[in-house]
Structure 1
Amino acid sequence: MTIPSVVLTGGPYERGLRHGRARAGALHDFLDDGLARLDRILPRPVDRDELEPLLDRYAAAITEALPELAEEIRGLADGAGLRHRDAVLLQVRRELLGYSKVPAMGDCTTYAMAGPAPVLAQTVDLNGDLDDQITVLNTGRSLLLSFGGLLGYLGLNSGGLAVGLNLVLGGQWGPGVPPYLAIRHVLDTCDNVGDAGKQLAALPLASSRCFMLCDREQAGYAEVLGDRVRFRAMAQPVHTNHYLDPEFVAHDELNVFARNSSLRRLEACRAALAALPAGAGAEEHLDLLARAPITVAGDGDIRRERTVAAVVALPERGELHVRPGNPARSSTEVFTLR
């Protein structure tokens, strides 16, 4: 497959308008497919009457915390010919899914390295068969991987910062800033790990995540549980889907099947990194991510997470290297911020 790329220029509304116009057909098809496939994943179809006031609460929280991105969401809706609530739904779709009740085998493996040539690498494991929703967004300031109308997911910026993420489950989820929009905001406003960590801690996040961060000087991860954020700096951090902070471990809600997978992937990734030669290039990192159990193959069940992409971000070079779908079977596409 060839990944669509959209250049977003102008003010917030204009960026959204360009995004919506470029992806209008795909977004309508996605929403028409069981409400962005939510009905195909959840135990029962979404109650549309209950959903609309909830989406309004999310929209209000986003507007209060991140008014420019709220305006971009309005542009996205107008450009694609969607209702505003539908554009908001695309931003908070993961929050609407909530905690997974289906035993899972994967949900992202992420690592980073600081230094003169920093690297952030990760698999993207999602349910919903979202390979067909991958898009790369280029704002001139930030280069982002996106799915199905999201304004952000993971990426890098011209300041030399890269941000990735893992799902972790804990605390209460509800109306607030979705972590994907938080990453977009951080990449739009911060040039280093320290400032990014402060911005993440200041936002009213809607759900728990672990954010992987790196620049030339520092790498580390920030785990989020409710309104608490714990940042740990490391030369070569690795994270999967269970909490590592001792204070957060007792609050981990990951089911036992997913936890076993998370532990296996963490150990496998650490071992593979230890054997990786110094100065390895993007293809060597992608080959590492493509190995089992780090890459999680699908079993045909749309409800289960599987690897839908592998990504290597090189922030000093402004490059995003992406293998869509199963990275053991796909070719690399390279996107450049310049």
Structure 2
Amino acid sequence: MTQADHILLSGGPAELGRRHGAARSHQLRAFLDDSLARLNHLLDEPVSLDALRPTINAHREAITHQTPDLAAEIDGLAQGAGITPDEAMLLQIRREILGYRRVPTRGDCTTYARAGEVVAQTVDLNGDLDDQIAVLEVAPAESGRRSLLLSFAGLLGYLGMNSDGLAIGLNLVLGGRWRPGLPPYLAIRHLLDNAGDVDEALKLLSGLRLTSSRSLTLCSPGKAAYVEILGGETRVVEGAQTVHTNHYLHPDLAPDDELNVFARNSSLRRLQACTAELADLPAAADAEEHFAVLSSPPICVPDDGDIRLERTVAAVVMHPGQGRMHVRPGDPSRSRTHVFTLR
């Protein structure tokens, strides 16, 4: 059964990276050696590290400018894992290198939040990434704020929650021009490091130049919201309960949605199914009741053996007020729950 490694990280930025890299060195080396982080299993045309260096350098410059601590942590990751700085950076921008995928897909995350209570979601990815799952518990030096983060293949962030009670999930949405900047996964880490609630996170987010389109779902005591991002445009929708899949919901951004028709149909079905399931879910539902929602079709996307297609590789239920992250690695309908608690 797929496991989720639990990695405790503390110290300054470089030390956080070194500890992360050392803990995952064998896995990261093997992953990079597997058709260049499996990119060449997924792209129509093969790429090489040499060919990607201009892209890597452009992103490095943007990341260093906006979040110098994360840039230092990426360098520390390279040192700890015994990989090159370019390889460590490649792991952070891998999704941006894949870019838009206009082939038929069946899933790419279903996320919901209830204000002050829970953020829950499936994680739908291609590339068979359920063997690359880790949960990072991060305690930066000289900071009283700590975070629990779900990570894949050396990412410094993906989704997570912090000790102030802020939780953040995400969905891929497609639109606008993708460009060198701060990858959304690293932006989530930056928000959890530096924001205590939804309002602070949204204010920080407004000052960042992101690489690519996303929707982020945020929850802290008393508030839940999602923010859709398209180029330099953002739209925020607050509610006692929010549900998001993979198409733009805000009418200002929906006309620029680039999701292909097959993926859009899947996104609509999952949005409708999740909304219906939540109507019957009690306000005091526990993690296992939330996993029952996340494990049901069409919300849970099964594996059909094609590495190129998205499938559910994990499901997560975060109770930020309790400091608990519940993770089912792999297909959540077939795996057991792992519980991680902020210390």
TM tier relative to shorter chain: over 0.9
- Taking the aligned partners of 2:84 and 2:179, their CA distance within structure 1 comes to 22
In structure 1, the partner of 2:55 is: 54
Unaligned ranges ≥5, structure 1 = none
- Taking the aligned partners of 2:232 and 2:313, their CA distance within structure 1 comes to 30
Q: What pairs with 1:165-244 in structure 2 (closer than 5 Å)?
A: 165-244=170-249
- Taking the aligned partners of 1:234 and 1:313, their CA distance within structure 2 comes to 18
The residue identity in structure 1 corresponding to 2:63 is: I
The residue identity in structure 2 corresponding to 1:53 is: P
- Taking the aligned partners of 2:218 and 2:126, their CA distance within structure 1 comes to 24
Is the partner of 1:308 in helix, strand or coil? strand
- Taking the aligned partners of 2:207 and 2:267, their CA distance within structure 1 comes to 28
Q: 1:223-278, CA deviations, whole angstroms, 9 ceiling, x for partnerless residues?
A: 00001111110110000000001011110000000000000000000000001122
- Taking the aligned partners of 1:24 and 1:48, their CA distance within structure 2 comes to 19
In structure 1, the partner of 2:102 is: 101
Is the partner of 1:8 in helix, strand or coil? strand
The structural deviation recorded for 1:217 is 1.4
The structural deviation recorded for 1:2 is 2.4
Is the partner of 1:237 in helix, strand or coil? strand
In structure 1, the partner of 2:135 is: 136
- Taking the aligned partners of 1:297 and 1:199, their CA distance within structure 2 comes to 36
In structure 1, the partner of 2:142 is: none
- Taking the aligned partners of 1:77 and 1:94, their CA distance within structure 2 comes to 19
Q: 1:192-212, CA deviations, whole angstroms, 9 ceiling, x for partnerless residues?
A: 001111111211100000000
The answer to whether residue 339 in structure 2 is matched with residue 334 in structure 1 is yes
- Taking the aligned partners of 1:277 and 1:8, their CA distance within structure 2 comes to 36
The structural deviation recorded for 1:33 is 0.3
Unaligned ranges ≥5, structure 2 = 140-145
Q: What pairs with 1:289-308 in structure 2 (closer than 5 Å)?
A: 289-308=294-313
Moved over 4 A (4+): none
In structure 1, the partner of 2:143 is: none
8 A Cα contact 1:58 1:176, kept in partner: yes
- Taking the aligned partners of 2:206 and 2:302, their CA distance within structure 1 comes to 34
The answer to whether residue 290 in structure 2 is matched with residue 285 in structure 1 is yes
Is the partner of 1:250 in helix, strand or coil? helix
- Taking the aligned partners of 1:3 and 1:327, their CA distance within structure 2 comes to 13
The structural deviation recorded for 1:26 is 0.1
In structure 1, the partner of 2:123 is: 124
Is the partner of 1:139 in helix, strand or coil? strand
Q: 1:167-215, CA deviations, whole angstroms, 9 ceiling, x for partnerless residues?
A: 0000000210000000000000001001111111211100000000001
- Taking the aligned partners of 1:223 and 1:278, their CA distance within structure 2 comes to 26
The answer to whether residue 274 in structure 2 is matched with residue 265 in structure 1 is no
8 A Cα contact 1:201 1:228, kept in partner: no
- Taking the aligned partners of 1:229 and 1:250, their CA distance within structure 2 comes to 14
- Taking the aligned partners of 1:208 and 1:2, their CA distance within structure 2 comes to 30
In structure 2, the partner of 1:6 is: 7
The answer to whether residue 254 in structure 2 is matched with residue 253 in structure 1 is no
The structural deviation recorded for 1:315 is 0.6
- Taking the aligned partners of 1:19 and 1:174, their CA distance within structure 2 comes to 27
The residue identity in structure 1 corresponding to 2:293 is: L
Q: 1:129-186, CA deviations, whole angstroms, 9 ceiling, x for partnerless residues?
A: 0000000000131100000000000000000000000000000002100000000000
- Taking the aligned partners of 1:254 and 1:295, their CA distance within structure 2 comes to 19
In structure 1, the partner of 2:93 is: 92
- Taking the aligned partners of 1:78 and 1:275, their CA distance within structure 2 comes to 49
Q: 1:275-297, CA deviations, whole angstroms, 9 ceiling, x for partnerless residues?
A: 11220001100111000000001
The residue identity in structure 1 corresponding to 2:21 is: G
- Taking the aligned partners of 1:195 and 1:228, their CA distance within structure 2 comes to 18
8 A Cα contact 1:102 1:303, kept in partner: no
Q: 1:39-78, CA deviations, whole angstroms, 9 ceiling, x for partnerless residues?
A: 0001121144330111011101000000000000000000
Q: 1:274 aligns with which of 272, 279, 282?
A: 279
- Taking the aligned partners of 1:47 and 1:214, their CA distance within structure 2 comes to 39
The structural deviation recorded for 1:81 is 0.6
8 A Cα contact 1:128 1:302, kept in partner: yes
- Taking the aligned partners of 1:42 and 1:201, their CA distance within structure 2 comes to 32
TM-score, structure 2 normalization:
0.97
TM-score, structure 1 normalization:
0.98
- Taking the aligned partners of 1:48 and 1:182, their CA distance within structure 2 comes to 24
Percent of residue pairs bearing the same amino acid type: 61
Is the partner of 1:261 in helix, strand or coil? helix
- Taking the aligned partners of 1:137 and 1:296, their CA distance within structure 2 comes to 25
The residue identity in structure 2 corresponding to 1:124 is: V
The residue identity in structure 1 corresponding to 2:236 is: F
The residue identity in structure 1 corresponding to 2:224 is: A
How many pairs were matched up? 336
In structure 1, the partner of 2:29 is: 28
8 A Cα contact 1:134 1:148, kept in partner: yes
8 A Cα contact 2:102 2:259, kept in partner: no
- Taking the aligned partners of 2:118 and 2:94, their CA distance within structure 1 comes to 29
The residue identity in structure 1 corresponding to 2:76 is: G
